[in-house]
Amino acid sequence: MSGVAIIGGGPAGLSAAIYTARADKRTLVFDDGGGTTRDVSRMENVYGFPDGVTGPELVEVGQEHAEKYGAERISEEVVHIERTDDGFRVETTVDEYAVDGVILATGADYERPAIADVEAYEGQGVSYCVECDAYFYRDRPVAVVGNGNYAATEALMLLDYTDDVRLLTNGDEFDADPELQAKVDAAEIPVRTDRLDQLVGDDGLEGIVTTDGETIAVDGLFVALGTAGGTDLAEMLGIPVDGDEIVTEPDQSTTVDRVYAAGDATGGHQQIATSVGEGARAAINLLEAFRGADYVDYKKVPA
């Protein structure tokens, strides 16, 4: 086994990490420094903290706990994930990692851009998933709205389907890691910083109108705001999502073998306690899946 990738270093991910690390699995906890927990100033209903606790304190104590048993924190942003012949390849803005199992614990996501009528065009030109929908826009004009590493990666991926790609930052200066900026430049993807006002089109999307009144003609608009959230990563693996939630079974498994999801990323009550519980359940069941595989291998060994 080359290990487990836990994507998310909040309560759900760190709880899972404690279990997988203590079971002697190499445990990589990917944490890009965001997440809801870090934003919460005070919580009074967290088990074991009768005097209350802040989100940053809770994350810190969870990190110490998981690292005590050997979990490795990787402070990198995951931008892509895919299945390989014998496991999974996790790609960050910095490196690539091969793992045997994945726990998605990325917190809640699904940010809509502040452009009028976006919801009305969802499924009619507006997409949140390049892997799912780029095929429909082969050789057609498309745009990515967003800024940063995730948006740059999505724009580069769209080049597999069409040469007519532009990146729209919606008013901000383009800001991605230098290597990604260089790739965007080399691919000659135009980056526009206009503020976007509204979407237009009678029978599906036909264009995006800027606040200056100019229309950028596109058939497809791919939303890639912030970082790649849990639903984006799940969709890359072909796992169903329901709105902004990764669909899981009661044991936290997904439709993909050895991929589990936990915490706010899966919806539900979205509390620290439920996130911690789901993280533990995901890890226990992933370990169970590993043992099942080992057991089958063992039976194949000739006597």
| Cα-based torsion angle of the residue sequence 193, 194, 199, 201 in order, rounded to the nearest 10 degrees | -100
Draw the binding track, 215-234, toward ligand FAD (x: CB under 6 A; -: no contact): ------------xxx-----
Draw the binding track, 89-118, toward ligand FAD (x: CB under 6 A; -: no contact): ----------------xxx-----------
CA atoms within 13 A on the CB side of 263: 30
Q: Which of 197, 235, 245, 264 binds ligand FAD (CB under 6 A)?
A: 264
| Cα-based torsion angle of the residue sequence 34, 36, 37, 40 in order, rounded to the nearest 10 degrees | 120
Q: Does 259 bind ligand FAD (CB under 6 A)?
A: no
Q: Rounded to whole angstroms, what are the CA distances from 298 to 25, 87, 289, 294?
A: 19, 19, 14, 6
Distance, in Å, from the CA atom of 6 to the CA atom of 32, rounded to the nearest integer, reads: 12
From the CB of residue 88, how many other CB atoms can be counted at a distance below 10 Å?
Answer: 21
Q: Does 247 bind ligand FAD (CB under 6 A)?
A: no
Name the residue nearer to ligand FAD (CB basis): 249 or 294: 249
Distance, in Å, from the CA atom of 88 to the CA atom of 98, rounded to the nearest integer, reads: 6
Name the residue nearer to ligand FAD (CB basis): 34 or 125: 34
Name the residue nearer to ligand FAD (CB basis): 248 or 275: 275
What are phi and psi for residue 152, nearest 5 degrees? -65, -40
Name the residue nearer to ligand FAD (CB basis): 117 or 177: 177
Q: Does 144 bind ligand FAD (CB under 6 A)?
A: no
- The distance of closest approach from Cβ of residue 135 to ligand FAD in the complex, given in angstroms and rounded to an integer, is 23
Q: Does 235 bind ligand FAD (CB under 6 A)?
A: no
**Which residues touch 272 (CB under 8 Å, ≥6 apart)?**
11, 37, 43, 45, 46, 58
- The distance of closest approach from Cβ of residue 101 to ligand FAD in the complex, given in angstroms and rounded to an integer, is 17
Task: Give the footprint of ligand FAD on residues 19-48 (CB under 6 A).
Answer: 30-37, 40, 43, 45-46
Q: For the chain, how many residues are written?
A: 303
Residues 205, 127 contacting (CB under 8 angstroms): no
Distance, in Å, from the CA atom of 138 to the CA atom of 26, rounded to the nearest integer, reads: 40
Please identify, among the stretches 17-25, 193-201, 211-219, 264-272, the one whose residues bind ligand FAD according to the rule CB under 6 A.
264-272
Q: Which of 5, 6, 7, 145 binds ligand FAD (CB under 6 A)?
A: 7
Name the residue nearer to ligand FAD (CB basis): 151 or 205: 151
- By the criterion CB under 6 A, which residues form the site for ligand FAD? 7-13, 30-37, 40, 43, 45-46, 77-78, 105-107, 227-229, 263-265, 270-273, 275
